[in-house]
Amino acid sequence: MGSRENAAGDTSTRIRDAALALFAERGVAATSLREVARSAGVAPGLVGHYFGSKDGLQEAVEDAVVGLFHDALGSVPLDGPVDEVVAGRDTAVNAMFRANPHAVDYLRRVVVTPGAGDGRLVRKLLDEQIVQTQTLRDHGIGASRAPVTEQAVRVLVRQLGTWLLQPALGRLWDLSGAEGPPPEVRVTLR
């Protein structure tokens, strides 16, 4: 790849990452393309050049978040005892979320307090989890009598639940005046 192509990739990534941070903080509707450009340190016209529109930029941000999730799950080998594979995948997702706080904040915003158009990211994540669940089943891991879609939702809620709910528990804990750190949220579905 030539230096010009690298610069274009670096610029579009910088814009996308700035948008992710702003979308996570303010929401998509409350973030202008000019603010994204200013945060990325680029001319406003470059946002349109690389992404076409705000919707195109939002879709690129969503694809990046789903890509983080995909890469984390894909980093865990599918051989070994079932419980170790499942635990390894959960650990990989948790490590990815720790390393990408803006992705967590954006997910929290679109899942817990969705705005117009925020369903697309949730749908993409769910589609990815369905593919991942089917892959596990194809490898003899995670077999269930439940339909693959139901199992995928359960896994996704388990993997996201703590990240989505822990800040709310922390706020409640602080407001209550309770001593010590708040308990850890663990999501269990029945």
pLDDT along the chain (190 residues), means of 10: 58 97 94 97 96 96 97 94 92 95 93 81 94 91 85 89 86 92 85
- Helix, coil or strand: residue 19: helix
Tell whether 44 is covered by a domain: no
In a domain, residue 3? The reply is no
| Nearest Cα residue to 48 out of 6, 11, 10, 21 | 11
Contacts of 48-55 spanning 24+ positions with Cβ under 8 A? 50/8, 50/11, 50/12, 50/15, 51/12, 51/15, 51/16, 54/28, 55/117
pLDDT of residue 6: 57
Q: Give the structural domain span for 104.
A: 57-176
What Rg value do the Cα atoms of the chain yield, rounded?
19
Domain membership of residue 40 (yes or no) is no
Contact 14, 40 (CB under 8 A): yes
- Say if residues 152 and 129 touch (Cβ distance below 8 Å): yes
Kindly report the backbone phi and psi dihedral angles of residue 26, in degrees, each rounded to the nearest multiple of 5, phi listed first: -115, -20
Quick one: tokens of 13?
Answer: 């990534």
* Residue position matching structure tokens 């635990």: 87
Residue 62 falls inside a structural domain: yes
Distance CA 101, CA 113 (A): 17
Other Cβ atoms closer than 10 A to 30: 11
Domain count, the chain: 1
Contact 69, 96 (CB under 8 A): yes
Assigned domain for 182 exists: no
**Residue 157 within any structural domain of the chain:** yes
Q: Is residue 168, in this structure, part of any structural domain at all? A: yes
Q: Are 159 and 68 in contact (CB under 8 A)?
A: no
152 falls within a domain: yes
Q: Which pLDDT score is estimated for 5?
A: 53
User: What are the residues whose beta carbons fall under 8 Å from the beta carbon of 97, sequence distance 6 or more?
Assistant: 103, 104, 163
CA nearest neighbour of 141 among 88, 72, 67, 102: 88
- Residue 105 makes CB contacts below 8 A (sequence gap 6+) with 24, 25
Please tell me the pTM assigned to this model. Answer: 0.87
